[in-house]
Amino acid sequence: MGTQPIVKNRGFNERQIKRIFYRRLAIVLWVSFFTAAVESMVFFALFDPSYLGQLSSFSVDITQWQGYAIGFVFFWAFTFLAALFSGVVLALPRSRLAKRNPNS
C-alpha cells in the first residue's frame, strides 16, 4: 500500500494536520538523535577527538569534551537531514506512471 501525501486533505481540520506534522517531525528528530548517539559512541570508541584536532590541516585547539560535542552535533545534523529527506520522499504522492498501473 502506498503512502499518502502530506498536502492532501482527507477530512482533517487544520489542527489535526498540524498535529500530524509535529508528530512526524518529532519522530524524525528522535530517530536522528538516537542514531547520532550510537554513531558517536562507535566513532569515538575508535578515535580520540583531541588527536583528531592535532591531525587537522588548520590549527585548532579543542578539548576532548568539545570534540565529543562537535562530533555529536555533526552526526545529528546529517542523520536529521537524511531522515527528513526520507520522510519527505515517502510523503510525496505517487507519480503518474504508478497511477496508470491498475495492479498497484
CA pair distance 20, 50, nearest whole angstrom: 42
Taking the CA of residue 71 as centre, how many other CA atoms within 13 Å lie in the half-sphere pointing to its CB?
22
Amino acid at 36: A
CA pair distance 48, 69, nearest whole angstrom: 13
pLDDT in tens, 13-38: 888 888 888 898 899 999 999 999 99
Is the pTM above the cut of 0.85? no
Parse the chain into domains and list their residue ranges.
31-89
Instruction: Identify the residue whose cell numbers are 504522492.
Output: 93
Supply the pLDDT for residue 77. 96
Q: Closest Cα to residue 7, out of 89, 92, 96?
A: 92
